[in-house]
Amino acid sequence: MPDKPSNTTASAHQVELAIRQLDSLSTLPSVAAQFFSKLLQPQFSPSAIADIIESDPALTAKILSLIHQQGVSFPDEKFSLRRALDKLAAHLVRDAVLSVKVFRTFDHDNDRILLRKGLIQHALAVACCAKDIAEIISPQMDLQLAFSAGLLHDIGKLALEEAMPKSLARIVEEAKSTKAGACAIEQKQLGTDHTILGKRLAQKWHLPNQITLAIWLHHSDTGIISQNMPEARIAQVVQLADSVARECGIGQSGSYDSPEPAEKTAQSLAITPEQLGQIRRKLPETAGQKFKVLGLDLPNAVASYCDVAHTAAAQLAQDNTKLSLENRKLQTASSHLDSTTEFLLSINSTTLPIDIAENFAVRWQKFYQTGMVCVYLVPPARPQFLEAVVVENLAQTKTVILNAPVGTAAIPEAIANSFAILDAHDYIDWLFEQLDVDFDLKQTKLAPLLANGKAVGAIAFELRYPGDVELFEEKFRIATSIAGAVLDMAFTSANQQHFAEQFARLLTKPKEAQPRIAADSPLNALAEMAAGAAHELNNPLSVISGRAQLLDEAETDPEKKRILKQIQENTGEISAVIEDLMSFAHPPEPRPAETNIKQMLDEAVQLTSQKTGVEHINIQIEVAEDVKSVFVDSGQIVSAIANVLSNAIESYTGSLGPIKVTTTAEGGNFVKLQINDLGCGMDAETVQKATQPLFSAKPAGRKRGMGLAHAARLIQLNKGTLEITSELGKGTTVTIHLPCK
């Protein structure tokens, strides 16, 4: 096996891979002993175990996932786990409950048992408290949804305890000894924290969006976030419930810092001190009742569970055999189109690329009756580390991180841009050396996963019958093309999620100073850009800070409503500035292709018209006869040229004057493109700073100064250059060189 990547990003990725292996959380033996006997009843009804399901995090998460899978909805009703159980078939509920693993306590690890039980007690206390809070602010909040969000808010910690118990124990011990919060220690030791891990699981299991937001954001500045994202208000409720539960000392949260003062969050939710005091006094009793439902204090819980499980296993064995046989028949009868349809329907906008790869690899093995399968991906953001999933016999899967090969391409040149089926042993020995499985190299084939004419990954598989290459070649091509397109979109979606997480962190009050960017770091430009943005960010942040406590959804005073509108406008401005910063710092990798330069200029003019609102632009375009095309990412260069043209239009203070665009060949390798205007021009100092992020010669607040910065950045990424010459009162000339091959 290769050495594991040691940097923080790779470490966090390893943790996420371990957590994503979980199909569900585990339930305690005392809980299993409670519901197993009821599952054995001849006329089993889901309502018989409703109390247990809605009080246990593992069972609640499993049933919520089943609700999504079965398409259960309540168009005119509020969320209710009990009503959903009534709408689900009894056998589906029974199978889902039985699929939840029972927490391993047979090793007599008392410390681990106590921590697990403490985490569940804390979750139940937060759930009860969240429901009481929702009842006070009702009808703005759904009581049952708030309860479930509170119950599941720490599923990231429960998952860590399950997949990496020693790591979580170390985190809790350090948090205890340093009086720190769990999130800070998790970030230090793992490179991620339980809120992000919980969010990943919630998305994988298709939990309701509001519950996912509560899991993700309950340690963020929910007061600010919920202003522009009303659906995140439930995270504010859970945050308050978490603080109250910790103040009351119920259960074990894993954090030992002082909880956020409940009064401040309560005030933002319009909860009076008297109501907050009533919630505190009531909580120990309501939480204790839920502890009894789960039998958390049941003596000899393991022995009771073993007795009941033995009886249940014998009774259900025959049913499971029948289901297995029926499933095999259905697989045999399925067509290629049906298999593709099922694959697409199993994916949504939040499914991660590695999960899509695992889904595709398992289906490939089953449908084509191949031997072992390996799908490996080349993430555009981290090409030095590859993600891979291996499917062994009987659809057993595992995911790994691989080191990219040195001195050779991860995707062989023969299939990097076009479909073909290769003999794998001639091309990817580096892959087999890193995988801890033995492929039959004589039978293993390799095919690309193509998207827009470029491979985003590849699939290696053991072909048991040589004749299948010709028989299934066209089906192989179609299936891999569909998978490649879906994976390409998933990589884009994952990028957007990463930006959203950075945005949430920027809005959260920092607990400690952030590390400085080294002077020679490639990100130094981003640091300079952030410094330039300070003036633009200062005023909106001051308004938000000064007015935040005046928020009140029931407010009728006109002056206060005006202040609320002012807060919203400035928050929107912050969001736009941050979006520009993110876009400049992390633009997508260009996908160069041969592009007709005249068509590209026409598209740039159309885009400029849309951006400036000028319907008829006075522009003259002259393309030399020997200039036909350039080799660039046309979308990025069109955007860059449009930004330059927009600046040229803005340089005219009165009526719009002419803009002249000329193109000529430069030495056979480059095309020179000049954009000339006769506008107001710039002095030497302004020309020098014109392409710096957030620089603008206009008064602060009118423009964010990102147009020319974006243009220069995109042109540089496409191996081109941008130069500016200008003279005050006489106009500006922007010279762009673009590669033509």
Average pLDDT over residues 146-166: 93
Q: Given this model, what pLDDT does residue 346 score?
A: 82
- Confidence band, pLDDT 50/70/90 cuts, at residue 696: low
Q: Given this model, what pLDDT does residue 246 score?
A: 93
Calpha distance 57→52 (Å, rounded) = 10
Omega prior to 590 cis, within 30 of 0? no
- Confidence band, pLDDT 50/70/90 cuts, at residue 84: confident
Calpha distance 624→740 (Å, rounded) = 14
| pLDDT at 496 exceeding the cut of 60 | yes
Average pLDDT over residues 712-740: 91
Q: Given this model, what pLDDT does residue 567 score?
A: 67
pTM over 0.75: no
User: How far apart, in Å, do the first and last CA atoms of the chain sit?
Assistant: 40
Lowest mean pLDDT among 3-7, 337-341, 662-666: 3-7
Contact by Cβ (8 Å): 402, 385: yes
Structure tokens at 574: 């912050």
- Confidence band, pLDDT 50/70/90 cuts, at residue 133: very high
Q: What is the percentage of the chain residues whose pLDDT exceeds 70?
A: 78
Lowest mean pLDDT among 38-52, 262-276, 565-579, 690-704: 690-704
Nearest to 536 by CA among 579, 586, 500, 584: 579
Average pLDDT over residues 165-183: 92
* Residue carrying the six token digits 């995109």: 714
Q: Given this model, what pLDDT does residue 672 score?
A: 93
* Residue carrying the six token digits 């000529």: 664
Q: What is the percentage of the chain residues whose pLDDT exceeds 90?
A: 33
DSSP structure string for 290-324: HHHHHTTT-TTHHHHHHHHHHHHHHHHHHHHHHHH
| pLDDT at 131 exceeding the cut of 90 | yes
Lowest mean pLDDT among 20-24, 161-165, 419-423, 693-697: 693-697
Average pLDDT over residues 338-344: 80
Calpha distance 12→186 (Å, rounded) = 10
DSSP structure string for 27-76: B-HHHHHHHHHHHTSTT--GGGGHHHHHH-HHHHHHHHHHHHHHT---TT
Higher-confidence residue of 82 and 699: namely: 82
Average pLDDT, the chain: 81
Q: Tell me the three state secondary structure of residue 14.
A: helix
Q: Tell me the three state secondary structure of residue 368.
A: helix
| pLDDT at 324 exceeding the cut of 70 | no
Lowest mean pLDDT among 348-352, 355-359, 529-533: 529-533
Phi, psi of 178 (to 5 degrees): -105, 0
Phi, psi of 388 (to 5 degrees): -140, 150
Higher-confidence residue of 560 and 30: namely: 30
Higher-confidence residue of 515 and 500: namely: 500
Beta strands in 438-587 (DSSP E): 444-451, 454-462
- Confidence band, pLDDT 50/70/90 cuts, at residue 306: low
| pLDDT at 269 exceeding the cut of 50 | yes
Please report, as a single letter, which amino acid is at residue 146.
Answer: A
Average pLDDT over residues 339-367: 86
Q: Given this model, what pLDDT does residue 537 score?
A: 52
Higher-confidence residue of 629 and 550: namely: 629
Average pLDDT over residues 15-22: 87
**DSSP category for residue 394:** G
Structure tokens at 155: 């599923």
Mean pLDDT is highest, among 353-367, 556-570, 606-620, 652-666, for: 353-367
- Confidence band, pLDDT 50/70/90 cuts, at residue 294: confident
| pLDDT at 157 exceeding the cut of 90 | yes
Higher-confidence residue of 238 and 394: namely: 238
Q: Given this model, what pLDDT does residue 504 score?
A: 62
Q: Using alpha carbons only, how large is the chain's radius of gyration in Å?
A: 30
Average pLDDT over residues 208-213: 92
Lowest mean pLDDT among 226-230, 303-307, 420-424, 554-558: 303-307
Q: CB under 8 Å to 420, separation ≥6 — which residues?
A: 414, 447, 448
**DSSP category for residue 3:** P
Q: Given this model, what pLDDT does residue 441 score?
A: 87
| pLDDT at 132 exceeding the cut of 60 | yes
Q: Given the DSSP bridges, would you call strands 593-596 and 629-632 parallel, antiparallel or unpaired?
A: antiparallel
Q: Given this model, what pLDDT does residue 475 score?
A: 86
| pLDDT at 160 exceeding the cut of 60 | yes
How many angstroms separate the Cα of 347 from the Cα of each of 201, 320, 403, 453, 734? Answer: 15, 27, 27, 22, 46
| pLDDT per position as a tens digit, 581-622 | 666 666 788 899 999 999 999 999 998 888 888 888 889 999
Higher-confidence residue of 657 and 128: namely: 128
Calpha distance 81→94 (Å, rounded) = 15
- Confidence band, pLDDT 50/70/90 cuts, at residue 699: very low
Average pLDDT over residues 70-82: 77
| pLDDT per position as a tens digit, 510-563 | 444 333 333 333 334 443 444 445 444 544 544 454 444 445 455 677 776 677
Q: Given the DSSP bridges, would you call strands 619-623 and 593-596 parallel, antiparallel or unpaired?
A: unpaired
- Confidence band, pLDDT 50/70/90 cuts, at residue 701: very low
Structure tokens at 337: 């189109």
| Helices within 508-533 (DSSP H only) | 524-532
Count H helices, E strands: the chain? Answer: 29, 13
Helix 524-532 vs helix 558-585: angle between axes, to the nearest 10 degrees? 160
Average pLDDT over residues 227-233: 83
- Name the β-bridge partners of 663: 623, 673
Kindly report each contact of residues 430-437 with a partner whose C-beta sits within 8 Å and lies 24 or more positions away, as own/partner: 430/405, 431/374, 431/376, 431/388, 431/402, 431/405, 431/460, 434/1, 434/2, 434/400, 434/402, 434/403, 435/374, 435/388, 435/390, 435/400, 435/402, 436/1, 436/400, 437/372, 437/374, 437/390, 437/392
Q: Given this model, what pLDDT does residue 124 score?
A: 95
- Confidence band, pLDDT 50/70/90 cuts, at residue 332: very low
Contact by Cβ (8 Å): 72, 87: yes
CB neighbours of residue 146 within 10 Å: 29
